[in-house]
Amino acid sequence: MTHVSPQLSRRGFLAGTAGFTLALTLPLGGARAQSAAASGSAPFAPNAFVRIASDDTVTVMIKHLEMGQGPYTGLATLVAEELDADWSQMRAEGAPGNDALYANLLFGAQGTGGSTAMANSYMQMRKAGAAARAMLVEAAAAEWGVPAEEITVSAGKVAHPSGKSSGFGALAATAAGMAVPEDPPVKDPKDFVLIGTDRPKLDSVAKANGTAGFTMDVYREGMLTVVVARAPKFGAKLRSVDDAAALQVKGVEMVREISSGVAVYATGTFAALKGRDALVLEWDESGAETRSSAQMLQDLSDAAKAGGAMVEEAGDAGAIDGAAEVLEAEFRFPYLAHAPMEPLDAVIETKEGKAEMWFGSQFPSFDKPTAAGVLGMKPEDVQINVLLAGGSFGRRAQGSAHLAKEVAEVAKAAGRDGVFKLVWTREDDLQGGYYRPATVHRLRAGIDAEGRIVGWENAVANQSIMAGTPMEGMMQNGLDPTSYEGSNDLPYDVGARRITWARVDSPVPVLWWRSVGHTHTAYAVEVFLDEVLEKAGKDPVQGRLDLMLPEATRQRAVLEKVAEIANWSGRRAEGKGYGVALAKSFGTYVAQILEVEDRNGFPHVTQVWCAVDCGVAVNPNVIRAQMEGGIGYALGTALFNEITLGEGGGVEQHNFDGYRMLRISEMPKVEVAILQSGEDPTGVGEPGVPPLAPALANAWRALTGQTVHQLPFSTLTA
Amino acid sequence: MRIMLAAALAAFVSPAAAQVLRGPGDFSGIADQTERSVALFEEMGKVLTHPRCLNCHPVNGGPTQGDDMQPHEPPVVRGVADFGAPGMNCATCHSAENVEFVGSPGSIPGHEPWALAPLSMGWVGLSLGEICAQIKDPERNGGKDLEALHEHNAEDGLVGWGWEPGEGRTPAPGSQELFGELTRAWIDTGSACPS
Amino acid sequence: MIKLGVNGKEVTLDLDPETPLLWALRDELRLTGTKFGCGVAQCGACTVMLDGMPRRSCVTPIGSIDGSEVTTIEGMEGPEIEAVQAAWAALDVPQCGWCQSGQVMSATALLQLVSNPTDEDIDNAMNGNVCRCATYVRIRQAIHDAAKTLEG
Instruction: Give how far Cα B67 sits from Cα of B46, B128, B171, Å.
Output: 14, 20, 9
- What average pLDDT does this structure show over A267-275? 98
| Average pLDDT score, chain B | 90
Specify the number of domains making up chain B.
Answer: 1
**If you measure CA to CA, which chain B residue comes closest to A664?**
B75
Which among A203, A236, A255 is the end of a domain?
Answer: A203
CA-nearest residue to C123 within chain A is A665
CA distances from B28 to A156, A377, B173, B177, B191 (A): 94, 82, 20, 18, 15
User: Which of A435, A579, A580 lies closest to A519 in space, CA to CA?
Assistant: A435
Task: Please tell me the predicted confidence (pLDDT) of residue B61.
Answer: 77
pLDDT of residue A670 exceeding 80, the answer is yes
B6 touches chain A (CB under 8 A): yes
The domain that holds A238 is classified in CATH as: 3.30.365.10
pLDDT value of position A327: 97
Is B18 part of a structural domain of the chain? no
Interchain proximity B85–C109, CB inside 8 Å: no
**pLDDT score, position A470:** 82
pLDDT at A43: 22
Q: How confident is the model at residue A282 (pLDDT cuts 50, 70, 90)?
A: very high
Say yes or no: A220 and A185 in one domain: no
A73 and A92 share a domain?
yes
Measured distance CA(A517)–CA(A499) in Å, rounded: 14
Q: Is the pLDDT of residue A352 over 70?
A: yes
Structural domain includes residue A302? no
Which chains neighbour C (Cβ–Cβ under 8 Å, 3 or more pairs)? A, B
CB contact under 8 A, A207 and C94: yes
For residue A12, pLDDT beyond 90: no
CB contact under 8 A, B99 and C59: yes
- Asked whether the predicted pLDDT for residue A40 surpasses 70, the reply is no
Give the residue from chain A lying closest to C29, CA to CA.
A219
Q: Is the predicted pLDDT of residue C83 greater than 80, yes or no? A: yes
- Note whether A599 and A450 are same-domain residues: yes
Across the interface, do B5 and A659 touch by the CB < 8 Å criterion? no
Query: What is the mean predicted confidence (pLDDT) over C123-143?
Result: 98
- Grade residue B103 by pLDDT with cuts at 50, 70 and 90: confident
Of B3, B8, B102, the CB nearest to A270: B102
Test A659 with B6 for CB contact under 8 angstroms.
yes
Assess whether pLDDT exceeds 70 at residue A135.
yes
Same structural domain, A394 and A494: no
- Whole-angstrom CA distances from A378 to A109, A111, A365, A666, C84 are 18, 20, 14, 50, 48
Amino acid at B111: H
For residue A264, the distance in angstroms to the closest alpha carbon of chain B comes to: 12
Query: C64, C69, C73: which is closest to C6 by C-alpha?
Result: C69
Say how far apart CA A645 and CA A631 lie, in whole Å: 27
Residue A45: is its pLDDT beyond 70? no
Following DSSP, what letter does each residue of A698-715 receive, concatenated? HHHHHHH-----BSSTHH
Q: What residues in A contact C46, CB-CB < 8 Å?
A: none
Give A251's contacts in chain C (Cβ within 8 Å): 16
Is C57 an 8 Å CB contact of chain A? no
Nearest CA in chain C to B79: C124
Measure in Å the smallest separation between the Cα of C7 and chain A Cα atoms: 14
Residue A293 in domain: no
Give yes or no for B86 touching C (CB within 8 A): yes
Give the residue among A652, A619, A549, C133 at the shortest CA–CA distance from B5: A652
Question: Which residues of chain B have a CB within 8 Å of the CB of A276?
Answer: 103
Asked if the structure places residue A584 within a domain, the reply is yes
C49 contact residues in A (CB cutoff 8 A): none
Whether residues B1 and A274 touch (CB distance < 8 A) is answered with no
* A238 occurs within a structural domain: yes
Chain C residues whose beta carbon lies within 8 Å of the beta carbon of residue A225: 27
B87 touches chain A (CB under 8 A): no
B1, B6, B9: residue with CB nearest A660: B6
Same structural domain, A36 and A185: yes
Query: At C124, is the secondary structure helix, strand, or coil?
Result: helix
- In angstroms, the Cα distances linking A189 to A201, A475, A621, C45, C106 are 22, 37, 19, 42, 43
pLDDT at res. C96: 98
* pLDDT(B117) > 60: yes
Predicted confidence (pLDDT) per residue in C5-62, tens digit? 999 999 999 999 999 999 999 999 999 999 999 999 999 999 999 999 999 999 999 9
Contact C97 A68 (CB under 8 A): yes
Residue finishing a domain among A203, A233, A253: A203
Clarify whether residues A37 and A136 are in a common domain: yes
Burial class (CB in 10 A: 0-12, 13-18, 19+), B96: middle
Burial label for A516, CB within 10 Å (0-12, 13-18, 19+), is buried
Average pLDDT score over residue span B90-99:
97
Among A172, A203, A234, give the residue marking a domain's end. A203
Task: Answer yes or no: do A519 and A394 share one domain.
Answer: no
Domain span holding position A516: 307-336+434-717
Residues A521/A456, Cβ–Cβ less than 8 Å: no
Give one word for A628, left, alpha or beta, with left for phi > 0 and alpha for psi -120 to 50.
alpha
* Residue contact C53–B103, C-beta within 8 A: no
Cross-chain CB nearest to B9 (options A270, A658, A665): A658
Residues A525, A633: one domain?
Answer: yes
> CB contact, 8 Å: C142 with chain A?
no
- Which among A210, A270, A663 has CB closest to C16? A270
Answer whether residue B2 is part of any domain: no
Q: Is some CB atom of chain A closer than 8 A to the CB atom of C14?
A: no
Q: Is residue B15 part of a domain?
A: no
pLDDT for residue A427 is more than 70: yes
Contacting residues of A for B104, CB less than 8 Å apart: 425-427, 654-655
CA separation for the pair A432, A57 (Å, rounded):
42
Q: How far is B169 from chain C (nearest CA, A)?
A: 15
A408 and A447 share one domain = no
A291 located within any domain: no
Residue-wise DSSP of C89-123? HHTT--SS-TTHHHHHHHHHHHHHH-SS--HHHHH
Q: Which residue of C has its CA nearest to A337?
A: C132
Report the half-sphere exposure of C152 (CA within 13 A, side-chain side). 1
pLDDT band at residue B105 under the 50/70/90 scheme: confident
Q: What is the pTM (predicted TM-score) of this model?
A: 0.93
pLDDT 10s digits, A372-424: 999 999 999 999 999 999 999 999 999 899 999 999 999 999 999 999 999 99
Measured in whole angstroms, how far is the alpha carbon of residue A248 from the centre of its chain? 42
Instruction: Say what percent of chain A tops pLDDT 90.
Output: 86
Alpha-carbon span A22 to A37, nearest angstrom: 14
pLDDT of res. B60: 80
Sorted by sequence, the CB contacts under 8 Å of residue A375 that are 6+ apart come out as A350, A355, A382, A408, A411, A412
Look at residue A8 and tell me whether its pLDDT is greater than 80: no
| Cα angle, residue A72 at apex, residues A71 and A77 outer, rounded to 5° | 90
State the average pLDDT over residues A223-227: 98
Q: What is the pLDDT of residues A512-561, one digit of tens each?
A: 999 999 999 999 999 999 999 999 999 999 999 999 999 999 999 999 99
Residue B118 burial (C-beta neighbours within 10 Å; 0-12, 13-18, 19+):
middle
B166 chain-C contacts, CB cut-off 8 A: none
Say whether A640 and B6 touch across the interface (CB within 8 A): yes
For residues A513 and A531, membership in a common domain is answered with: yes
Q: Which residue has the higher pLDDT, B64 or A25?
A: B64
- Kindly state whether residue A100 falls inside one of the protein's structural domains: yes
Domains within chain C, CATH numbers bracketed: 2-75 (3.10.20.30), 79-151 (1.10.150.120)
Cβ atoms of residues A467 and A250 within 8 Å: no
Let me know whether A196 and A223 are in one domain. Answer: no
> Is residue B43 in some structural domain?
yes
Residue B180 domain-assigned (yes or no): yes
Per-residue pLDDT reduced to its tens digit, B7-66 = 333 333 334 455 799 999 999 999 999 999 999 999 999 999 999 999 999 998 789 999
Residues A577 and A515 in one domain: yes
Question: Nearest 5 degrees, angle CA B5-CA B9-CA B13?
Answer: 85
Chains touching A by CB (3 or more pairs below 8 Å): B, C
Q: Is B86 part of any domain?
A: yes
| Residues in chain A closer than 8 A to B102 (CB atoms) | 270, 273-274
Does C97 reach chain A within 8 Å, measured CB to CB? Answer: yes
**Number of domains making up chain A:** 3
Query: CB–CB of C39 and B103 under 8 A?
Result: yes
What confidence tens digit (pLDDT) does each residue in A48-67 have?
Answer: 699 998 899 999 999 999 99
- The per-residue pLDDT for B18 is 56
Tell me, what's the pLDDT at A718? 53
Look up the domain containing B147 and give its range.
Answer: 33-188
A475 belongs to a structural domain: yes
Residues of B in contact with C44 (CB under 8 A): 74
